Structure 1
């Protein structure tokens, strides 16, 4: 495990969430489930406490904390996508029973915020041509799911 690992807090759905992500996303798997050694705020002795899982190749934790906290936009999982096919794959998988938001953001069925971001978008933003970047940004701001072709058209002034 890396020294820094994102930990997602769930009331009592940590294992369900990790299994869900593993069932819909590539390079995702449940690695280890740790149960409560004693009654704790997260649940009774023997219930799932922590799930270590790999999410799109990144180590993660899911914790059953026993109390429901709402996620907000101050934290999101950002999935960098190589192309439109990958944007579509991640978006379509995560939006099921979830909710679309603006500019490539969505909330999955556990209300976890995600940014589904094509790599080319970040490449355009960081390139020296600021006018091109501004055109791409304006186009992206009108979208829900990012359409790579339309962003590129806008960036190129087409």
Structure 2
């Protein structure tokens, strides 16, 4: 039996587009590829493709098995980004439903939800004071695509205010 590097693999259900979606995703993310496609014949929903693929090294599977289930916002995938350029790139590639955009969340053309998040945000949330975290939250809540410069400014503003108060 082969040793599995990842014990958990997301499995995505598509009506008919599993292969197309996998090809779309691997074209966007580096270190990505389709690793296997198996077609099951004579299933209750007709011929079904099962597609194994990797996105940024993370294994995924997808199936084309009919219109029984749809994606919703209860499940999303987070894409961590180091720079605004990276955020802009993934946002442009993945966001296809403008009305679904909120707080760094977007929805792709297949209905799958993504969160495009700067890595810096997790660091600020983990190390910030309650005031800094509140300021950061009030800044990102009205945003659609997250803007690193605005998030940094909101976070640092608290530090400036503290220094001013100490100098009085």
Which residue of 2 is the match for residue 43 of structure 1? 46
Inter-CA distance 26–42: structure 2 relative to 1 (3 Å threshold)? farther
2:103 is paired with a residue whose SS is coil
Partner Cα distance (2:131, 2:62) in 1: 42
Which residue of 2 is the match for residue 139 of structure 1? 139
Q: Which has the higher helix share?
A: 2
What is the TM-score when the length of structure 1 is the normalising length? 0.89
What is the TM-score when the length of structure 2 is the normalising length? 0.84
Unaligned segments of structure 2, at least 5 residues: 161-168
Shift of 1:81: 1.1
Which residue of 2 is the match for residue 25 of structure 1? 29
* Greater Rg over alpha carbons, structure: 2
Partner Cα distance (2:46, 2:55) in 1: 24
Which residue of 2 is the match for residue 56 of structure 1? 56
1:124 is paired with a residue whose SS is helix
Unaligned segments of structure 1, at least 5 residues: none
Superposed CA RMSD in Å reads: 1.6
Partner Cα distance (1:43, 1:149) in 2: 50
2:46 is paired with a residue whose SS is coil
- 1:19-63 residue CA offsets vs partner (Å, 9 max, x unmatched): 011122222211111110x3113423xx52x10011122110111
2:52 is paired with a residue whose SS is strand
Q: How many residues align?
A: 153
